[in-house]
């Protein structure tokens, strides 16, 4: 499955969170940073922005890219970002502390959890 396919679950009205979808989300975010890939939907942009907040203290450059890419998307598409509470409520991110841990481990090159 390509990187674009890893974001498909976000397009569901109520995304189902599983270990597999969580792993795909982490891999997609890490790949987005590495490839400097812009978000392709408002939900992706919301996840980018949320992840930027989680990475801010340890991975400032990655956080800066994710935040800037999300903000560009909102401006170009004339879309309002979701509040972080709504990102959680809509199921785009299930457990922020777990996502932070997984992202930081992946960014550091740890491939298993």
Domain ranges within the chain, ordered by starting residue: 3-107
In the predicted model, what is the mean pLDDT of residues 66-84?
A: 97
45, 74 in Cβ contact below 8 A? yes
Please return the burial class of 71, using the count of CB atoms within 10 Å of its CB with bins 0-12, 13-18 and 19+: middle
Model pLDDT for residues 10-65, shown as the tens digit of each residue: 555 555 566 777 888 888 999 999 999 999 999 999 999 999 999 999 999 999 99
> Which one, of 59, 27, 25, lies nearest residue 44 by Cα?
25
């Amino acid at each position: 499955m390509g990187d674009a396919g890893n974001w498909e679950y976000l397009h569901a009205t109520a995304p189902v969170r599983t270990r597999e979808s969580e792993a795909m989300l982490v891999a997609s975010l890490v790949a987005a940073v590495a490839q400097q890939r812009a978000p392709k939907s408002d939900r992706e942009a919301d996840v980018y922005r949320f992840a930027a907040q989680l990475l801010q203290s340890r991975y400032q450059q990655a956080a800066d890219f994710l935040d800037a890419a999300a903000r560009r998307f909102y401006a170009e598409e004339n879309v309002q970002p979701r509040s972080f509470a709504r990102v959680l409520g809509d199921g785009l991110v299930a457990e922020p502390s777990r996502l932070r841990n997984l992202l930081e481990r992946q960014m550091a090159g740890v491939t298993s959890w």
